[in-house]
Amino acid sequence: MSVAQATPRKARPPSAIMRDLSAALIQQMFYWGMDAAHSGGNVFQKRGFRKSESTGLKGTSCYSLPWQGGEIFLHGACVGWFPSENEGGFLFIRPSGRCHIWKGEAIPVPGKWPRESLAPVNPADHVSAFAPFLSWLLDHEEMIRREMGEAYRAACHRKYRSLPKSRPWLAPADGEAWLRLFLQAPAQSPPAKRFSR
């Protein structure tokens, strides 16, 4: 099935679209854990990320990188993009498996996500909040493919699939294609379970 054939004629409910994005990010966070622990060195530090100790979940690390007028933030419990000048960033919390608009004034502390600082994401209305994060994600995956070869991410995907409680999402190339479609027209995103390039 081609990308054009996979695109539905009418918009899906926002909750279904966001479930697909959340599944993609859970799998992606596993990949990023492998990138951080890579035998050739921490991929994120090689790309200029600043590593710091988490002030919320002790014994864990955070990574941050300036990106498109804000900051990419990565941690094992949450990831996101937060603008430099105002609130309204994008936050994905892995334990809950949910995406949020972050309304707090500072980058969230992992493990401390007050409800009053979280708002639901509507894919049609909040593109400016999640687009910088997803553009970084796709840029990172292009770099991984270019510098480490397609076999590396395919191996990450196989390892994720082998975990007893994992819920594998799309294979790497299909996943990237779905995310590109999501960025182009979030409200018209095709169902991931029926998607292929």
For residue 119, what are the β-bridge partners?
101
Q: Is residue 56 part of a domain?
A: yes
Reported as a single tens digit per residue, the pLDDT across 68-92 is 999 999 999 999 999 998 778 999 9
Q: Is residue 124 part of a domain?
A: yes
Q: Is residue 183 part of a domain?
A: yes
Reported as a single tens digit per residue, the pLDDT across 42-78 is 999 999 999 999 988 888 999 999 999 999 999 999 9
- Rounded CA-CA distance 49/104 in Å is 23
129 in Cβ contact with 101 (< 8 Å)? yes
Q: Is residue 104 part of a domain?
A: yes
Q: Is residue 195 part of a domain?
A: no
DSSP-derived letter for residue 72 is E
What proportions of the chain, in percent to the nearest 5, are helix, strand and coil? 45, 20, 35
Structural domains in the chain (count): 1
C-alpha dihedral (45, 47, 50, 54), degrees to nearest 10: -60
Per-residue pLDDT of the chain (197 residues; tens, 9 = 90+): 444 444 444 678 889 999 999 999 999 999 999 999 999 999 999 999 999 999 888 889 999 999 999 999 999 999 999 999 877 899 999 999 999 999 988 899 999 999 999 999 988 888 989 999 999 999 999 999 999 999 999 999 999 999 999 999 999 999 999 999 999 999 888 999 888 87
Q: Is residue 75 part of a domain?
A: yes
Q: Which residue has the tokens 């994060």?
A: 133
- Rounded CA-CA distance 16/140 in Å is 26
Q: Is residue 166 part of a domain?
A: yes
Question: Looking at this protein, which amino acid is placed at residue 69?
Answer: G
Domain that holds residue 125: 3-190
Q: Is residue 61 part of a domain?
A: yes
Q: Which residue has the tokens 């770099």?
A: 143
Report pTM.
0.91
